[in-house]
């Protein structure tokens, strides 16, 4: 009897499998989709298959059946296709290995699925499900390395020795962190021991591949265990050295908490949004460089300024898109802006500036601020939450009254030029900046009051 959760996938794949078998080939579901079927997890994304057919043979088999075919990855053994709303990726059995001085894998095709599975990253991904044709036979699980048993035991192992597996593709040392965190797996002792020995192999992995794998780790439900694995094994020293640098020694006199432990706790509290998670990961990277001890204890003056610059540099080195670099580094820069807020301290002008400076990142900044509180002091945590609630209420009130999201000077550039009788130039920009400050400080002015202040400013400027 076929388990109910397999039926929808098999119904999608069987017509395709029948075509391969008619052509004298076999095709298997492979990798993550098999793992998630075993776990009963919901499936999403493409359907991955492996076959003994070579890419050109695969293309011939699917001709006339697929609505679209693309073969840009054929030299690596992969042919993509789409039928109706389903996307398939079919890869010839293969083994991949990196030459000692190359960033690109060498691909060798194989005839047996077992050879393909042996070269996969972890045993939990080294399983295949043979899909028969339309004869109604049950599918056959191929699990030569004990992936099902490892899933049941919660263990992360490699099909071959970890030294061989990580040498073949060094990115697997980083990928291990995602499976540790995302699937609650405990790495086998030999896997952990192999990582520090092979760290230098990470140098051949492109920044883009590191970025993509780090991104996948950061959006699992709770990345904490994976982040600790990266730090403890030394992987972070290579790909994100700012992270282990935050492992500040405990200060027994001033009792300052470990910055790294705090950082990972903040990450765990945030929602699985890449921008917020990366900002949480990097929000205190400036602390080690600004740490000082004075009469009142440990301080980190201007660590948000230093940290924003460090975050920008690291994200660029990892080839993050420019818009993500700017958003994440801006959140790092602004993450202390809320502190000190109280109804008796912040004027409406200060609230307007907070909203203006946050811009489109206001919700993310508020979330980061809330999650930045990791104190065990319930009273202190409750007070911070209440202050944030109060600030968000004031923002909502001002937004309703003044359309905060669209704060602009009460006059535009054309009106300034017409009123002052000046051409485009630096003076217009200075006038608009003055009017914006007045708008932030005093709220909506109206055109008449704005023109009066413009006249005063112009007179003072001209006589200076």
Q: What is the DSSP string of 352-415?
A: HHHHHHHGGGHHHHHHHHHHT---S-HHHHHHHHHHHHHHHHHHHHHHHHH-GGG---SS-HHH
Q: For residue 301, what pLDDT is reported?
A: 67
Task: Determine contact, residues 369/388, Cβ cutoff 8 Å.
Answer: yes
Residue with tokens 């045993």: 123
Digit-coded pLDDT (tens) for 392-401: 888 888 777 6
pLDDT, mean over the chain = 86
CA distances from 88 to 47, 61, 93, 440 (A): 5, 13, 16, 54
Q: For residue 254, what pLDDT is reported?
A: 39
Task: Determine contact, residues 312/329, Cβ cutoff 8 Å.
Answer: yes
pLDDT-based confidence at residue 282 (cuts at 50, 70, 90): very high
**Range with lowest mean pLDDT among 58-62, 158-162, 434-438:** 434-438
Q: What whole-number distance in Å separates Cα of residue 305 and Cα of residue 319?
A: 22
Please name which of 308, 306, 290 lies closest in space to residue 298, comparing C-alpha atoms.
290
pTM: 0.81
Q: What is the mean pLDDT of residues 443-461?
A: 83
Q: What is the mean pLDDT of residues 216-233?
A: 97
Q: For residue 347, what pLDDT is reported?
A: 79
Residue 119 backbone phi and psi in degrees, to 5: -95, 5
Out of 55-69, 180-194, 349-363, the most confident range is 180-194
Please name which of 285, 224, 225, 292 lies closest in space to residue 256, comparing C-alpha atoms.
292
Q: What whole-number distance in Å separates Cα of residue 90 and Cα of residue 51?
A: 7
**Range with lowest mean pLDDT among 7-21, 202-216, 258-272:** 7-21
**Range with lowest mean pLDDT among 107-111, 294-298, 424-428:** 294-298
Residue with tokens 């790495």: 187
Residue 192 backbone phi and psi in degrees, to 5: -60, -40
Q: What is the mean pLDDT of residues 174-202?
A: 96
Q: How many residues does the chain have?
A: 464
SS3 446: coil
Identify the bridge partners of residue 109 per DSSP, sorted by sequence position.
94
Q: For residue 344, what pLDDT is reported?
A: 59
CA distances from 78 to 52, 87, 90, 91, 142 (A): 12, 13, 6, 4, 21
**Range with lowest mean pLDDT among 181-195, 280-294, 312-326:** 280-294
187's tokens: 């790495």
Please name which of 116, 172, 163 lies closest in space to residue 144, comparing C-alpha atoms.
116
29's tokens: 């579901």
Q: Which long-range contacts (CB under 8 A, 24 or more apart) does 142-145 make?
A: 142/28, 142/113, 142/114, 142/117, 144/114, 144/117, 144/118, 145/117, 145/118
Residue 80 has pLDDT above 90, yes or no: yes
Q: What whole-number distance in Å separates Cα of residue 434 and Cα of residue 409?
A: 8
Please give the DSSP secondary-structure letter assigned to residue 432. Answer: H
Residue with tokens 């282990």: 244
Residue 226 has pLDDT above 80, yes or no: yes
Exposure on the CB side of residue 300, measured as CA atoms within 13 A: 18
Residue 43 backbone phi and psi in degrees, to 5: -100, 150
Residue 276 has pLDDT above 90, yes or no: yes
Q: Which residues contact 393 (CB under 8 A, 6 or more apart)?
A: none
- Count of beta carbons in the 10 Å neighbourhood of residue 243: 21
Q: What is the mean pLDDT of residues 278-300?
A: 79
Q: What whole-number distance in Å separates Cα of residue 455 and Cα of residue 431?
A: 10
SS3 299: strand
Q: For residue 343, what pLDDT is reported?
A: 54
Please name which of 120, 188, 189 lies closest in space to residue 154, comparing C-alpha atoms.
188
| Burial classification of residue 381, based on how many CB atoms lie within 10 Å of its CB (0-12 exposed, 13-18 middle, 19 or more buried) | middle
Q: For residue 144, what pLDDT is reported?
A: 95
Residue 293 has pLDDT above 70, yes or no: no
Q: For residue 98, what pLDDT is reported?
A: 61
Out of 17-26, 337-346, 427-436, the most confident range is 17-26
Q: For residue 46, what pLDDT is reported?
A: 82
Q: For residue 251, what pLDDT is reported?
A: 43
pLDDT-based confidence at residue 353 (cuts at 50, 70, 90): confident
Task: Determine contact, residues 237/229, Cβ cutoff 8 Å.
Answer: no
Q: For residue 1, what pLDDT is reported?
A: 45
Q: For residue 264, what pLDDT is reported?
A: 94
**Range with lowest mean pLDDT among 87-96, 163-172, 220-229:** 87-96
Task: Determine contact, residues 328/282, Cβ cutoff 8 Å.
Answer: yes
pLDDT-based confidence at residue 298 (cuts at 50, 70, 90): low
Q: What is the mean pLDDT of residues 289-312?
A: 77
Please give the DSSP secondary-structure letter assigned to residue 354. Answer: H
Residue 133 has pLDDT above 60, yes or no: no
Out of 97-106, 180-189, 368-377, 400-409, the most confident range is 180-189
Please name which of 210, 144, 224 lies closest in space to residue 180, comparing C-alpha atoms.
224
Task: Determine contact, residues 218/278, Cβ cutoff 8 Å.
Answer: yes
pLDDT-based confidence at residue 356 (cuts at 50, 70, 90): confident
Please give the DSSP secondary-structure letter assigned to residue 270. Answer: S
Q: For residue 93, what pLDDT is reported?
A: 93
Task: Determine contact, residues 148/38, Cβ cutoff 8 Å.
Answer: yes
**Range with lowest mean pLDDT among 57-61, 201-205, 300-304, 383-387:** 300-304
Q: For residue 250, what pLDDT is reported?
A: 47
Longest alpha-carbon distance in the chain: 94
Please name which of 72, 79, 32, 29 lies closest in space to residue 53, comparing C-alpha atoms.
79
Q: What whole-number distance in Å separates Cα of residue 163 and Cα of residue 159?
A: 11
pLDDT-based confidence at residue 253 (cuts at 50, 70, 90): very low
How far is CA 279 from its chain centroid? 10
SS3 70: strand
């Amino acid at each position: 009897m076929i388990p109910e959760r397999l039926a929808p996938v098999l119904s999608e794949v069987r017509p395709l499998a029948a075509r391969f078998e008619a052509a004298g080939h076999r095709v298997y579901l492979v990798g993550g989709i098999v793992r998630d079927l075993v776990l009963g997890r919901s499936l999403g994304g493409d359907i991955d298959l492996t076959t003994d057919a070579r890419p050109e043979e695969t293309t011939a088999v699917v001709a006339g059946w697929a609505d679209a075919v693309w073969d840009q990855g054929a030299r690596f053994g992969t042919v993509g296709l789409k039928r109706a709303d389903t996307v398939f990726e079919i890869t010839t059995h293969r083994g991949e290995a990196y030459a000692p001085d190359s960033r690109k894998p060498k691909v060798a095709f194989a005839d047996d699925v077992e050879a393909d599975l042996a070269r996969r990253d972890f045993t939990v991904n080294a399983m295949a499900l043979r899909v028969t044709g339309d004869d109604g036979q049950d599918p056959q699980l191929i699990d030569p390395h004990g992936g099902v048993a490892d899933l049941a035991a919660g263990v992360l192992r490699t099909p071959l020795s970890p030294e061989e597996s990580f040498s073949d593709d060094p990115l697997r040392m980083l990928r291990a962190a995602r499976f540790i965190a995302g699937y609650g797996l405990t790495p086998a002792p030999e896997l952990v021991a192999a990582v520090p020995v092979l760290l230098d192999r990470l140098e051949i992995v492109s920044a883009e591949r590191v970025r993509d794998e780090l991104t996948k780790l950061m959006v699992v439900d709770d990345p904490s265990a994976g982040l600790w694995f990266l730090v403890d094994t030394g992987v972070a020293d290579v790909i994100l050295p700012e992270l282990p640098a935050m492992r500040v020694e405990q200060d027994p006199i001033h009792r300052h908490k470990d910055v790294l432990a705090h950082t990972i706790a903040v990450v765990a509290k945030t929602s699985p949004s890449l921008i917020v998670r990366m900002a949480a990961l990097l929000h205190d990277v400036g602390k080690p460089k600004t740490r000082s001890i004075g009469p009142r204890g440990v301080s980190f003056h201007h660590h948000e300024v230093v940290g924003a610059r460090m975050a920008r540099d690291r994200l660029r080195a990892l080839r993050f898109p420019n818009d993500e670099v700017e958003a994440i580094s801006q959140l790092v820069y602004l993450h202390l802006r809320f502190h000190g807020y109280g109804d008796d301290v912040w004027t409406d002008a200060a609230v307007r500036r907070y909203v203006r400076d946050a811009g489109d990142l206001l919700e993310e900044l508020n979330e980061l601020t809330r999650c930045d509180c990791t104190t065990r002091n319930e009273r202190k945590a409750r007070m911070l939450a209440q202050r944030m609630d109060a600030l968000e209420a004031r923002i909502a009130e001002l937004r309703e009254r003044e359309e905060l999201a669209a704060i602009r000077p009460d006059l535009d550039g054309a009106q300034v030029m017409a009123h002052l009788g000046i051409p485009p130039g630096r003076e217009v920009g200075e006038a608009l900046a003055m009017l914006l400050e007045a708008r932030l400080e005093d709220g909506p002015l109206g055109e008449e009051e704005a023109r009066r202040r413009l006249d005063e400013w112009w007179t003072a400027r001209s006589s200076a």
